Structure formats: structure tokens, C-alpha cells
Structure 1
């Protein structure tokens, strides 16, 4: 079968594309980023190694030999790819429907929740792989152990057993399509939708699970499944004790078994506890869980240290909603005396729905000695409604007395951050979706060494300053 993936640069789409290319299917794909000239991204190299042919998102990758076109919720009816598929009479399928087929064909563990899904999915995978269960995994971030040990991009791996671990996304309601062997529910907070809508999704999802394990400390979840198995930081069927967190990890005990986790943040202790609860349900013992998590290296862009200069560390992180941002800044405070943070919002809808929550999160976690730089919302193209600006967050924070700056030119922000940094500081680069953020973090580290004067930029595009971060 010849399958074409529209938006193959998306982490969920690329995972499924790779999985089918690892099988017997011929796979092609297109992406807006290719159309915009982003031709040197690392992902493209991994896809090409699997024989996946890549095209601009203009319909040129679809022909009469294409059997199926896979779409995501980000693809509009006016997209040239969808128009071409309809003109040729080629059937289309949503990404979540294809994932649901894989879920149904395996003994699947589906990890759900507003925050922590990718990290917990990776932890479950690493534990089960260490236990010799040879699971497959489809997730929303590159697992570092897979990159190192298997030489793959890391967001998908095809194991030899019938066990599959997936990250179940609630943002577009597709979570209700999955009927897993085990459902793991981490948390439920207002993010892409209002709480009552999300609760409806999760209630239906939980009803589809053969077994469900939920966070006992999340009231929004507990009311949906009062009889479910539970985990938590301080309560639940599986919970840690004797937690000791530092800037590089945490020590804790579960049911008498000592654990050491080498990624920072108490929120990751909670993620690890959830992963242990799932592994126990799959028959893995606590000692094996502890040994696996002691080796856990993490996932891409989750408190990823880009490097240090003069005792100043630059950290790249995917945090993009109020809860994730709070957790990342808290972890940074464990490690550095002062936090200098850059945040680029990834969606206009998030600003519109969560502006007050963003203000509260930053105001409560950016300390009196810290500083936050904001820039405009990342816009990759398409017909998504705009009409809001990151200035809304900036103005709210100024009214709260938070140390915050706003600039729509990332080059100026970079120079200001590098110039303000002092030994012992942690510099955070925060945001999602934009593939140039990691390059921005690397350039920030280089600027620490150069300490060049602030640049003047008059030609930048919002959220994509002068295309300076594409190389």
C-alpha cells in the first residue's frame, strides 16, 4: 500500500509514517516546513533513511498510485493536498483513526493527561524494554535511549511483542477512539478545551479501557472513575515516600524500594510513579522498575541541557502551557540561583483561552531576581484564527510587577539574555512546535561566549526572526 502523510513534520504524523515505512508500505509525505524552505531538519534525514519520499505541501506528492492519505486536525479543507486527494478519489483518514487501528491490534498501554504524557510514555517504554518485554512505542517526543541504542529518531519503535505504548492526545477529542488494554491518566487541566469538555473525553476514554489507573490527587479525574486503580505523589495505590529532590534529579521510595531519577523536578517523580504503576500492572517487579528508571535519560527538549559557559547553563524545554511552564521553572530554581527565561507561545487559541492562567503561572514562579522575555506567537501558516497577541500576557505580568520584557525580534532578545546572564544562572528556552527553538538555544549559548552588542533587526518575521535559526 502507498500511504501519503500530510503534515509529516508533526511528531505524531512522523511516528506513524516511520512505523508504516518499517513495515511493507510505501510511504510519502509533505509538510508546510518543506514548502517554506526548511530542508535541513534532522527529522527529514531519518525519514529519508527509511525510504520515505518528501514533498512540499502543494499536492505534488499525491498521484493515482496513492492508496490512502493521512491527515491531522491541523489540515484545513482548503489544503492543496486534500483537494488533490478528493479530485483523484483517494480515501483519507485522520491520524487518530490510523493510530486506533494499531491500538486495537496490540495489548496497548495508552498514556493520557494534559501534562507529562511524553515523559511518562518514555518511562513506561524504558521499563518494559529493560524488563525484556520488547514493546513497541508511538509517542510525541524522541526517546533518548532509542536514539542512543537504536540510532533512530526516537518517537517510534517497533518491538517484537504484542505490547504497544502510545501517547493518547486529548486536544482534539481523538482520545475517545482508543480502546486500550491499560489506560494511564496523569492529570486533567484546562488547556485546549474547557474542563467540562475534557472530562467528557476522559470519561469515555476510561470506559474503553480494560484497566484504568488514574492520579488519585486529581479531583477532575477521580470523580470520573472512583473505583479505578490509582497512583499519586502522596496518596494512591502506588505512591512514593521520602522524596528528596535536587537540581539534577530525585531520590524516593515506593513500597520499600529505593529509586533514583536523573532528571530534575518533583513533577517527574509523579511521572515516574505513574510509569511504575503501569509496569506493575504489566507484571514487572519494583526492582526492575528502579533499575530501569535509574538509567532513564529522558526525552528530547525536556529540560535538555544545551551546554554551559562560565557557570551559566542553557536549557531547552518544550513547556508551553501554564502547568508545564510552572513545573519547568520550579525545576530550574532547584538547579540555578536565578532563572532567565524566554517563552514563545505556540498557538493563538492558547493565548485566547489561557491568558489569565499564563499570567498567574509566570507571576507565581518568576522570582524577584529572575527575568522573563516574551515574543510573539509562533505561526507556521494555515487558516488558524489569530486576533490575539502575546502582549496580553506581557501587560498582565507588568501589572503584577513581574520582571518581564516583550520583543517581537528574537535576535534582540538573544543578545539581551546573553548580556544579562551571570555565573550560576539558568537560561531557559521555552515553547513548542517551532523547530527553530533548539537552534535558538544553541545560538544563545554561543552568544554567551561572544557577548556581542545587541543587534538591530528591522526585517524579522514574527516568531521567526530573520530566518536566523534555520541552520
Structure 2
């Protein structure tokens, strides 16, 4: 890095905070701003940043004053943001978050990039824990809190600070930035419609795997299986590690899955050696078995013995907001979950339905754009997965202003689900949904708070639990 004076615009964001900590560990001086701080939201996060040597400013441009600063902005930042205007006036260098992250990632002698529509944060966390337990000292950039590394001093453990020789990162396709990464190991968990058209996604993921030394690919997903076939056809079959549930033709396969209330058991088969190992996970759901296979394939590609990796996985404690149990009150369990696209929602609902109990679901869409793009997929997904006594509640999508097309809203989804015979309601606000959830809840129910890109959802889930406790008292 040419300059060591960095200003992060939106430093409290899930992608910005861990990157800032990594840059700081590599010698950078860190300043930043955030609208959430200016609005008084999540004050504990910003107090933690200040306690860890970060100078914070209002997001009014006052913190960007010198040409020597490198201003780091999200990929979608607009020039109307005061910090960006101030950077241009001061002659400061402006880089995007993906640009800076990929620069650090590509500079590492060994790198693992984790991509895919779903499962990225969990796979990245699993890889981080295995490599940490193996003494490999990885530096890890994740988009969510890795609970194995979280403690009183590191409550926002979405980054792991290690050496410069081994870098692991969650890689995003939604903004096209995946095209910047040149990984030693490319992991692709699955590919499905999310932020871009399938044609665009195929190009992006195809390029990502083509640039890798080894690609770890899921045979259970038609799109990732096609990527594996492409690599075989282009003479790079030896550079592919495949995984699958129940498919013995994959390099790593899982068999005899047994759901547990808080985890999974299965048998792992390594096709090359013929070895079979019993595995116990402390995270639930078949999708987490697939995530574990992806992580095992990635670490094996850089020399971690399979039995050592399996032993480490058995103490993996999960990722924040991935079916995270907030607590139980009045016989009702509150769960906080990041699910926000049809695949993630399906994985969560299938896992929860493995056990008895009605689901009361709050799904807060993370934008009007995804609702319009995936309207039919949301309707079909919820219709197929909601049971007759489940209830879905939706506030309007998160909206931060701008020129977003707001022609498709939550009622469009809810009405489609009702037309198919399931219970779904769209209410104007999240607060109204909270009132309705408390009114509906009865012993044996599970309340699931779903949504992304809004830190206050976790606060909302915790407040629901407190309301339930108060009603029981």
C-alpha cells in the first residue's frame, strides 16, 4: 500500500469495519465516518472503534482535509456524499472497498476467495477456524461476526488478524467486484438468481474460477457443476475439487445426514483415499453440511490434512445472525437470521422445519430492487416452504433515499403468498410487525427475524425477546 493514512466512509458497515482493522494491523492510520453514528445508531460499535485507535468524524466532509489521505468508499457510493466531495477538493486518492480489499488479497502469496450466492460467510468462518487451529495464522476478511473469535474485547470479530502470507476473504459478485480477485483457491458454493442476471453471473463466476490455481465447486448446484465440467473440458480437471451431499462421484461427499437440534452428524467420504470419517457439526441444517464440505475442500487444497480439518470443524461455533438463537421467553424462541434471498430463506426454513413448532417470520427486504428482480421467486419460495399454521410478516423494504424503483413492495409479495393459501401480511413499519408478532406468539412458537444490511435487526430481535419476557411476567 502506497499510503498509510486511510479514511473509511461508512466505517461501521459489515464490509468496511473488518477491512479497516486489517489495514490498521498492516500499519495504516485509520479515520472514518458513518451515517449510523451521526444518527445515534449502534453507539457501542463506534465506541469500540474509538477504543481501538480509530478517529471518527461526522459524515459531513470535515474529516477529509489532506491529499495524503486515501478515502475508502463502498462500491456504490455517490459523489454527493460530503466525504467524497471533500476528498476531491483536497486532492485525496479515492478507492473503492472492493478495490482496496482485492489489492491486499492479490498481494498475498496464498489466497482463498469464497464466493457464491449463499453460504459465503459461514464457509469463510469455517476456513478461518480450521486454519487458525492448524497454526497457519491466516488473515481473514469476513462479512459477518465469526463467533469462535468473538470475545469481550472483539465483539465485532468479522476480521481475523494474522500474517500477510495467507489471506482468506468472502468475495462478492453482487457489485461485479469478484472480477478483481485472482485467488490461489476459488470456492464457489452455489450460483442462483440474486442481484444480477444468470448470464452475468456465469461470466463473473467463470472468470473467477478460471483465474484460480484450484477451484472448489459444488456438484449439487447445476450452475457450479457446469463450471466444474467447463474446467474438465478445458484441460483443467486436475485443478478442480468437487463436493456434494450423497454423491459418491464428488471428491468430498457427505452421507447419512442426521439432524440434531443444534447441529448435524454425517459421514464424510474422501474419494481419492476411500477414507470415511464421522463428522459432528455444531451448526444445524443440510446447507451447513455443504458449507463444511466446501471449507474442507479449500483447506485441503493448501495442505491441511483432512482429519485435522474435521477435528477443527467440530468446534466451529457458527456465524453471527446465521440462525442465531437470541433466547426463549414465555415458551417462545426468538431467532436472528441473515436470510434475505430465496436460497438463504429456503435453507433456514427447511432447517427449522426439521423440528416441531409454528414459525412466525418477520422478513425485512433489504431493498426494492431485489423485490422487483425476484418477486416470483420470493412468492414461490415462501408458498412452498410455509406450513399451514406459519405466519409471514413483512414491513416495507429498507429505503435510504435516492432514485430506486419502488414499483414492487412488500404487499406485492404478501398478496401472492396469500393467493396460494398461506398466511402473509405486509404492514407499513417494522414496529407494527413487532406488535403483531407479540400478539400472535404462543408457547411452542419460534419467531424468526430475517433480513440483511441492517444492524438494527439484531436489536429488534432482542427487544422482541424482552417484550415476551415482560408479557410472561
TM range (shorter): over 0.9
- Equivalent residue number for residue 124 of structure 1: 127
- In the alignment, is the contact (CA less than 8 A) between 1:246 and 1:335 conserved in 2? no
Q: 1:432 aligns with which of 452, 457, 460?
A: 452
Q: 3-state DSSP class of the match of 2:151?
A: helix
Instruction: Note if contact 2:182-2:212 (Cα within 8 Å) is conserved in structure 1.
Output: yes
Measured in 2, the distance between the counterparts of 1:291 and 1:424 equals 34
Contact 2:37 2:43 in 1 (8 A): no
Alignment equivalent of 1:367, drawn from 363, 369, 387: 387
Structure 2 partner of 1:357: 377
> 1:378 deviation in Å?
1.0
TM-score normalised by structure 2 residue count: 0.92
Specify which of 42, 45, 69 is matched with residue 44 of structure 2.
42
Normalized against structure 1, the TM-score is what? Answer: 0.92
Match of 1:462 in 2: none
Give yes or no for contact 1:125–1:135 (8 Å, CA) kept in 2: yes
Q: How does 1:269-280 map to 2 (within 5 A)?
A: 269-280=289-300
Residue aligning to 1:252: 266
Q: Which residue is 2:184 aligned to?
A: 181
**Does residue 1:284 correspond to 2:304, yes or no?**
yes
Q: Secondary structure at the match of 2:36?
A: helix
Match of 2:341 among 310, 321, 335: 321
Question: Residue 31 of structure 1: which of 13, 29, 34 is its match?
Answer: 34
2:246 pairs with 1:234 = yes
Secondary structure in 1 aligned to 2:27?
coil
Deviations 1:212-241 (A, max 9, x none): 111112221232342232111123111111
Compute the displacement of 1:262 (Å): 1.0
Distance between the aligned counterparts of 1:104 and 1:275, measured in 2?
20
Count of residue pairs brought into register by the alignment: 451
**2:154 pairs with one of 151, 155, 159:** 151
Query: Do the aligned partners of 2:67 and 2:91 also contact (CA within 8 Å) in 1?
Result: no
Whether the 8 Å CA contact 2:130–2:313 is kept in 1: the answer is yes
Indicate yes or no: 2:246 matched with 1:243. Answer: no
Provide the C-alpha distance between the structure 2 equivalents of 1:184 and 1:149, rounded to a whole number of angstroms: 31
Partner SS state of residue 148, structure 1:
coil
Q: Which residue of 1 aligns with 2:171?
A: 168
Counterpart-to-counterpart distance in 2, 1:386 and 1:91: 34
What displacement does 1:416 show?
A: 2.0
Q: Map 1:313-462 onto structure 2 (within 5 A).
A: 313-451=333-471
Cα distance in 2 for residues equivalent to 1:99 and 1:383: 28
Q: Distance in 2 between matches of 1:142 and 1:257?
A: 29
5+ residue gaps in structure 1? 453-471
Tell me the CA shift for residue 65 of structure 1: 5.5
CA drift of 1:381 comes to: 4.0
Shift of 1:313: 0.6
Structure 1 residues 47, 11: closer, same or farther in 2, change over 3 A? same
Match of 2:218 in 1: 215
Specify the SS of the correspondent of 1:301: coil
Cα offset for 1:162? Answer: 1.3
Query: Separation in 1 of the partners of 2:59 and 2:164?
Result: 36
Distance (whole Å) between structure 2 residues aligned to residue 150 and residue 222 of structure 1: 42
CA 1:81–1:386: 2 relative to 1, 3 Å = farther
The CA deviation string for residues 116-153 of structure 1, in whole angstroms up to 9 with x for no partner, is: 00000000111111111111100100101111397352
Match of 2:84 in 1: 82
1:302-323 Cα offsets, whole Å, 9 max, x none, are: 1111100133210000110011
1:11 aligns with 2:14: yes
**Of 294, 310, 321, the match for 2:314:** 294
CA contact (8 A) 1:240 1:253 kept: yes
Whether the 8 Å CA contact 1:206–1:225 is kept in 2: the answer is no
Q: Does 1:95 align with 2:107?
A: no
Residue 72 of structure 1: which of 57, 71, 74 is its match?
A: 74
Deviation at 1:297, TM superposition (A): 0.7
Q: Could you tell me whether the CA contact under 8 Å between 2:37 and 2:46 is conserved in 1?
A: no
Asked if 1 retains the 8 angstrom alpha-carbon contact of 2:74 and 2:96, the reply is yes
Correspondent of 1:192 among 191, 195, 210 = 195
TM-aligned CA deviation for residue 290 of structure 1: 2.0
Deviation per residue, 1:339-368 (Å, 9 max, x gap)? 111110011110110011111111111100
User: RMSD value over aligned CA atoms?
Assistant: 1.7
CA positional deviation for 1:329 = 1.3
Task: Give the 3-state SS of the residue equivalent to 2:412 in structure 1.
Answer: helix
Are the aligned partners of 1:21 and 1:50 in contact in 2 as well (CA < 8 Å)?
Answer: no
Unaligned runs of 5+ in 2: 233-239, 270-275
> 1:45 Cα shift?
2.7
Alpha-carbon deviations, 1:270-289, whole Å to 9, x = none? 10111111122122222222
